[in-house]
Amino acid sequence: MTTLFSSYRLGPLTLPNRLVMAPMSRVRAAAGGLATPSMATYYAQRATAGLIVSEGVQPSAIGQSNPGTPGLHTDEQVIAWRTTTAAVHANGGRIFAQLMHGGRVSHPDTIGQRPVGPSEVAAVGDVFTPTGPRPAPTPRALDTAEVPEHAESYARAARRAVDAGFDGVELHGANGYLISQFLSSNANLRTDRYGGPITNRIRFAVEAAAATAEAVGGARTGIRLSPGGTFWGVEETDVPELYTALLSELAGLGLAYVHLEATAADEVLTALRKEWPGTLIMNPVLPMGPRQTGRADAERWLGLGADLISFGRGFLANPDLVERLRGGLPIAPVDEATYYQGGDAGYLTYPTHRHAA
């Protein structure tokens, strides 16, 4: 019988359990987008996860969304990340880098230039900047000839990730960032080969995934998707058709996995499970929603056909989440005030469970 604690073969990796640490931005990188010794400790503390997916890592300078986030587009960043990947591996873990191009979800104060997107349509809400939240600016629409360069940026960053010691990469195709913006029917108003009908709107995602799989191998390439999600004001029409078409195209690339968020009804997500022939990671509750994923949510989705289950806030506050779930131990609550404030408080200070004497 398959349980959360059964092993799983993911490409060349043998995962000791079915629990995945979901990507979570912590904005604690050093100047220049460099990973830090504290980041190495943070991820190594959680190495009992079957797989760790890192926080969002910008694949290019213009792809940075928030200040204080790490990158994988310079040699210095590669060198800095090696301490983290080595620490995770020394503790017996496995780690993928999530490659996140923010697209329009950025600001000139953060990246020194106007953000880019599929069309000149601003995101909804305030974005983070070095001086605090500011209204999302109207992005510059990419010319048709520029789009492949941004798809290729994921592949270049993936090569650097492997050089830095990561076991693979996950393309952030969810939550209103650049890939999600191209999938959208209101952020993407293009009339060229990247906009309009579904076949065109999925093209950027497929090109980014194909370039990355060619660069580092499909077995080292995953993608995260949020069908029907409305983060940063994106909307998607024809969600089942859109994602069925996308998964059909991705299926030929031999990807390590698709990572779905619970942003659509169960019947939509279970239908997509049937369309996807490979490994499915399921994030069972809405990211940043009112409640955290629990064991019952995870087991329900294993029963619905997911292969692996991702936990976000559970891993943030419980470095030993695997053992807590295995033993039915209490799950510590997360301190939301320390999500992004910097420093080691609320980052390295969550303890493992202590049994009563």
Based on the number of CB atoms within 10 Å of its own CB, is 84 exposed (0-12), middle (13-18) or buried (19 or more)? Answer: buried
Backbone CA torsion sign across 51, 54, 55, 60: negative
Distances (CA, A) of 345 to 25, 32, 81, 88, 336: 15, 22, 21, 20, 12
CA-wise closest residue to 188 among 204, 173, 174, 212: 204
**Partners of residue 21 on adjacent β-strands:** 52, 311
Active site residue 177: yes
CA 152 to centroid of chain Cα atoms: 18
* CB-based burial label for 133 (10 Å; 0-12, 13-18, 19+): exposed
The active-site residue out of 42, 43, 177, 257 is 177
- Where helices occur in the chain by DSSP H, the ranges are 37-45, 75-90, 108-111, 147-163, 178-183, 198-201, 203-216, 239-250, 266-275, 295-303, 313-317, 321-327
Residues labelled catalytic: 177
